[in-house]
Amino acid sequence: MSKEKLLLIGDHFILPSVMREALGPLADRFDIHEAQTPFPLEPFRNIAEVREASGSEEMMIRELEGVSLCIAHHAPLTRKVIEASPALRLFIVCRGGPVNVNLDAASQHGISIAYTPARNAAATAEHTIAMMMCAIRKIATRSAELRKGQWNGDYTWETAAFELESATVGLIGYGAIGRIVGRILRSFGAKVLVYDPFAHIGSEDVEQVAELNTLLDQVDVVSLHARETAETRSILGAAQIGRLKRGAVVVNCARGSLMDYNALGAALLSGHLSAAAADVFPQEPLLADSPLLKLPNFVMTPHIAGGTRQAAIKAARIAADELQRYITGEPLHHCANPK
């Protein structure tokens, strides 16, 4: 009896070999094939109707021929690909959400879609704290000045930074990443306020507020951790940034659409904000003439917050667990289209 065909579509971050290793003894049950997209050596992009994808529809149609089970990362599962892949019945995305999948088309064709939430929560949380500290203490700016032969060590009362130990930090969004950020901040001694209408605060030593403005009016630092939805797009706009106290710091390692970057730039130029840091942007990659690149008090990284080896391994292991559950008839833990 022939084995069921399983396709592993990795890339240069989550290697196909990492996916295969995560399967363990389960791998012996399948006829395994491997493919690879160019991410992240080439940034993800919109492909047909899906977002944040890598590879091509043509590659997917070719690789999915006769495949019933697939584990992928950024590979695009568009309507065109789905209609050309009649054998496919399970597609697992090694991401926090299947934005590179046409979920309606998958459901219409009876394809179960699973995903791997929180696989990069620790990585992104740690990067957020690093960016926060870098912005508050002007680490990147001072490092660049030293390379130019400038010794600007003459901090004054007016220019001195503040400490997280005595700061109030506001978290907009309190999912897996936000909770880890909150825990780390509390270890510094910071007071942590949370705005997330859907979060349940258990025994965590944070204070949940019912209104966003209540948080904005009190914090020294605000950090974004919300998912991108119609309600959260531009949740930190000009009016919200204007409510922050003079000298506050803004950090965004979530999604570029959550913040008005034009308003952020204006607040940094005017001195209303002392600094900001971001790993994500409305348009990626950043254009070479982006005004953001000229802001000395703005720390930037190129969407790398979740990029650790541990995050790749966690994603592959969660995907393997979902595959195990599927083939044994158990409900998927993380199914995007359970109906």
Is residue 287, in this structure, part of any structural domain at all?
yes
Contacts of 304 (CB under 8 A, 6+ apart): 127, 279
Q: Structure tokens of 132? A: 């926060």
Confirm whether 167 is domain-assigned.
yes
Indicate if 231 belongs to the active site: no
Report the number of distinct structural domains present in the chain. Answer: 2
- What pLDDT sits at residue 56? 98
User: Which is catalytic among the residues 119, 225, 303, 334?
Assistant: 303
Whether residue 98 is found in the same domain as residue 148 = no
Respond yes or no: is residue 73 known to be catalytic: no
**Are 141 and 282 in a shared domain?**
yes
Give yes or no: residues 126 and 264 share one domain.
yes
Q: Are residues 61 and 86 in the same domain?
A: yes
With beta carbons less than 8 A apart as the criterion, state whether 113 and 72 touch.
no
Residue 295 confidence (pLDDT): 95
Q: Distance of alpha carbon 173 from its chain centroid, rounded?
A: 13
Rounded to whole angstroms, the Cα distance separating 51 from 102 reads: 9
* Contact between residue 77 and residue 50 where contact means Cβ atoms under 8 Å apart: yes
pLDDT at 125: 98
Claim to verify: residue 196 and residue 216 sit in the same structural domain: yes
Pairing of strands 50-53, 45-47: antiparallel
Q: What angle do CA 304, 168, 132 make, to 5 degrees?
A: 20
Render each residue's pLDDT in the chain as its tens digit; 339 residues. 689 999 999 999 999 999 999 999 999 999 999 999 999 999 899 999 999 999 999 999 999 999 999 999 999 999 999 999 999 999 999 999 999 999 999 999 999 999 999 999 999 999 999 999 999 999 999 999 999 999 988 889 988 999 999 999 999 999 999 999 999 999 999 999 999 999 999 888 999 999 999 999 999 999 999 999 999 999 999 999 999 999 999 999 999 999 999 999 999 999 999 999 999 999 988 999 999 999 999 999 999 999 999 999 999 999 999 999 999 999 999 999 998
Q: What pLDDT, on the 0 to 100 scale, is given for residue 339?
A: 85
Q: What does the pLDDT read at residue 314?
A: 98
Do 64 and 210 share a domain, yes or no? no
Answer for the pair 299, 277: CB distance below 8 angstroms, yes or no: yes
**What whole-number distance in Å separates Cα of residue 285 and Cα of residue 262?**
17
Residue 334 belongs to a domain: no
Q: What's the pLDDT score for residue 224?
A: 98
Quote the CA–CA distance of 306 and 74 in Å, as a whole number.
Answer: 14
Residues 32 and 141 grouped into a single domain: no
Please tell me which residue in 109, 183, 284, 325 is annotated as part of the active site. Answer: 284
* Residue 290 sits in the same domain as residue 199: yes
Q: For the whole model, what pTM was predicted?
A: 0.93
Taking alpha carbons only, the member of 304, 302, 297 closest to residue 137 is: 297
Q: Which of 63, 50, 64 is nearest to 102 (CA)?
A: 50
How far is 124 from 128, CA to CA, in rounded Å?
6
Q: Are residues 74 and 172 in the same domain?
A: no
In a domain, 317, yes or no: yes
225, 255, 317, 334: the active-site residue: 255
Question: Is residue 145 annotated as a catalytic residue, yes or no?
Answer: no
Q: Are residues 175 and 242 in the same domain?
A: yes
Q: Range of 320's domain?
A: 4-119+308-327
> Considering only CA atoms, which of 146, 134, 137 is closest in space to residue 299?
134
Query: Measuring CA to CA, how many Å separate 299 from each of 215, 243, 267?
Result: 23, 22, 14
Residues 281 and 155 reside in one and the same domain:
yes
CATH number at 228 reads: 3.40.50.720
> What pLDDT sits at residue 273?
98
Considering the domain architecture, whether residues 70 and 176 belong to the same structural domain is answered as no
